[in-house]
Amino acid sequence: MKNRILVTGGAGFLGSHLCKRLLDENNEVLCLDNFYTGSKDNIIGLINNPYFEIIRHDITFPIYLEVDQIYNLACPASPVFYQKYPIQTTKTNVSGSINVLGLAKRLNIPVLQASTSEIYGDPTIHPQTEDYWGNVNCIGIRSCYDEGKRCAETLFFDYHRELGLDIKVARIFNTYGPNMAINDGRVISNFIVQALNNENITIYGEGVQTRSLCYVDDLIDGFIKFMNTPDLHVPINLGNPVEMTIIEIAELIIKLTHSKSILSFMPLPQDDPLQRCPDISKANTLLNWAPKTDQKSGLEKTIDYFKNKLQNEAS
């Protein structure tokens, strides 16, 4: 019999890839989304599959379903969108997690939380290991996301400790690929869209801050391995440890798109972390996972996606 799997945030960037992969692996998928940052375009290729269902629902409200596994991805991931409605962002992370955990508790099923490198804040150790507690501002403009995700982790671990729930907490580092929205506001989508349009590339600050970029297919492999590895009740970093400055990322995208764009420097947003790079030894040893896609091939696939998307919008 097929497993029936709930993906909250299933119409978003990562969620849509996860839904597709789970269907390809012969599961039944319930895609729950309130379509705040997600879109029907991301899942349009799946809707003719009779084992795929869309549920329009805001996860801050309870929901009663019968499923075998849950991936909890619901939450806007782009700073632009999570900062637009910060109270809703905290509610999604906290009340949303409580509802998802209540559902998992009632059904006694495994539940994976899409946590984030943001729980490390502006890190003082480098690269970041899972035992680092983080350096996070609790009253800044990123706090609704960072502290919301930290509280969600607390809830996941307390549902495990107090009630024995089978939880999986994946700390995702910056991931990119097709199905990011054109207006998403995150670095890769912004730079590729600007480069393809030969517009100025908007570098925030001096562009010397670093990020480590993981291609989406690799991340989804990590999710599925984590979900299907029993008794692993520790947080695990998932990301690609190849670290680049924002300027290096901009230059690589300009080169790959053969763009005439030039760099334009803008103010650095408040609390923007200076460095970010995952230590993935835990994922290596406990999940036998490591990213396989190099930056050039991942970016080329993403550039092709945005090229098509921009052409379709223009026609």
Active-site residues, by number, are 145
> Which amino acid, one-letter code, is at 96?
G
Does residue 151 bind ligand UDP (CB under 6 A)? no
Lookup: tokens for 294:
């190099």
- Residue 159 or residue 173: which is nearer to ligand NAD going by CB? 173
Does residue 63 bind ligand UDP (CB under 6 A)? yes
**Contacting residues for 7 by C-beta, under 8 A, at least 6 apart:** 15, 18, 19, 22, 29, 30, 31, 32, 70, 71, 73
Q: Give the contact letters, 201-220, x = binds to ligand UDP (CB under 6 A), - = no.
A: -xxx----x-x---------
Does residue 54 bind ligand NAD (CB under 6 A)? no
Q: State the binding partner of 122 from ligand UDP, ligand NAD, none, CB within 5 to 8 A by kind.
A: none
| Rounded least distance, CB 247 to ligand UDP, Å | 9
Interatomic CA distance for residues 211 and 242, integer angstroms: 8
Q: Tell me which residue of 152, 182, 142, 123 sits closest to 308, measured CA to CA.
A: 182
CA distances from 76 to 13, 193, 284, 290 (A): 10, 20, 28, 26
CA distances from 132 to 8, 127, 169, 285, 299 (A): 28, 10, 15, 18, 30
Does residue 14 bind ligand NAD (CB under 6 A)? yes
- Residue 156 or residue 261: which is nearer to ligand NAD going by CB? 156
Lookup: tokens for 236:
């695990």
Does residue 75 bind ligand NAD (CB under 6 A)? yes
Q: Tell me which residue of 205, 201, 183 sits closest to 310, measured CA to CA.
A: 183
Does residue 269 bind ligand UDP (CB under 6 A)? yes
Contacts with ligand NAD by CB under 6 A lie at 8-9, 11-15, 33-38, 58-60, 73-77, 92, 96, 114, 116, 172, 174-175
Contacts with ligand UDP by CB under 6 A lie at 62-64, 79, 98-99, 102-103, 105-106, 174, 186-187, 190, 202-204, 209, 211, 246, 269, 272
